[in-house]
Amino acid sequence: MTVFHVLLLVTTLLCSLVAGFLFAFAVVVMPGIRRLDDRNFIRAFQVIDGVIQNNQPLFVLVWLGSVLCAVAAGALGLSALSGLERVLLIIAALVYVLGVQVPTFVVNIPLNNRLQKLDAETMAEREQKRARDEFEPRWNKWNSIRTVLATVASILLLLVLAAVSPAARG
């Protein structure tokens, strides 16, 4: 197995873990806390996001590792691959970086940071509702987009991985 194949395998694993993380938020976490009143919704999200923002080491390794590996695999794939495999890998890397990571840093993290600054315990109910209304629909919309695009990138990476595996070459 070449260094490129190991990198492609690790990239596929890390990007797929991120896709699964986003999927879990989309179908379990956010629907679960959606049932809470505004104050408890804000507090629950703050606590969950706080684990991430406190640089939980495995999360950081997977999240940042996925970005670095996707970029590195895309760059190395330019010379290591040809034809459809090269095209699929470049598309996967672009979809992942532009469709998952850019919205994360441009939309979701700023929304998270704004919510983190709130003191839900001292806010009036109307302020809690407004804060939630400004946060939840937009955050969920972009998380859904990130989930779909992370899944697409993972599928493309799996296709490339299958195509370049020694068994595929016969």
Q: What is the pLDDT of residues 91-142, one digit of tens each?
A: 999 999 999 999 999 999 999 999 999 999 999 999 999 999 999 999 999 9
CA distance 52 to 120: 19
Q: What is the pTM of this model?
A: 0.94
Phi first, then psi, for residue 81 (nearest 5°) are: -120, 170
Look at 87-91, 155-159, 164-168 and tell me which has the smallest mean pLDDT: 164-168
- Over 80: is that where the pLDDT of 169 sits? no
- Over 70: is that where the pLDDT of 168 sits? no
- What's the whole-number mean pLDDT along residues 29-44? 97
- Over 90: is that where the pLDDT of 4 sits? yes
pLDDT of residue 133: 98
pLDDT of residue 170: 58
Share above pLDDT 90 across residues of the chain, in percent, rounded to a whole number? 93
pLDDT of residue 1: 83
- Over 90: is that where the pLDDT of 166 sits? no
Q: How confident is the model at residue 83 (pLDDT cuts 50, 70, 90)?
A: very high
Of 72, 68, 89, residue with least CA distance to 60: 68
pLDDT of residue 55: 83
Q: How confident is the model at residue 165 (pLDDT cuts 50, 70, 90)?
A: confident
